[in-house]
Amino acid sequence: MRLTNYSAVRLIPGIYYFGLVTLFLIVFLNYQFQDTLFPDAIYYRISISGIFFIMVYVYFGGKYFEYDSDGSLVSISNRGIILSNFLNYRTREIEKIKENICDYYIYNFFIYKRLVICTKSKKGLKKYRSNITFLSPQKIRYIKQSLSRIIEENKQL
């Protein structure tokens, strides 16, 4: 089964760059209007910090996710979206044999989702983490079904 979140993350660079332009525009206009753009300084700080936190969330949470369980390997790939063509430092690729997968967890924090896959190795259990924040609930169910089926097959062996 192959899954990806391309349809959800293709808008992320536009949102990020729009937020960056908006942040600089608010700072510039507030400076040009000599701090009269907002009725009070607290509104200025709230708007700047809100845009900043949204940009940080989009930067760290907005990752391209690809899952492939066809064949004898389970392949999971996470790549950053913003600046990924120039600096490819956020790429994580995991390829594990299906027989070594022993458990998985999906953590659903309020605005962040994470997939943790536990595998057997010579040194014991090893955990691999992937960001699935922008994956749709239906695709998360498909991942659960696929991993549950793999674990059930491994228990029968």
Q: Are residues 55 and 76 in the same domain?
A: no
Note whether 3 and 139 are within 8 A (CB): yes
**pLDDT tens digit string along 1-46?**
889 998 888 888 888 899 999 999 999 999 999 888 888 899 999 9
Query: How much is the average pLDDT of 89-115?
Result: 90
Q: Given this model, what pLDDT does residue 85 score?
A: 61
148 & 76 share domain: yes
* Domain encompassing residue 38: 7-60
Residues 98 and 96: their CA atoms lie apart, in Å, by: 6
The residue from 60, 84, 101 where one domain ends is 60
Q: What is the pLDDT of residue 67?
A: 95
- Shared-domain flag, residues 82 and 146: yes
Distance separating alpha carbons of residues 119 and 131, to the nearest angstrom:
18
pLDDT confidence bin for 84, thresholds 50/70/90: low
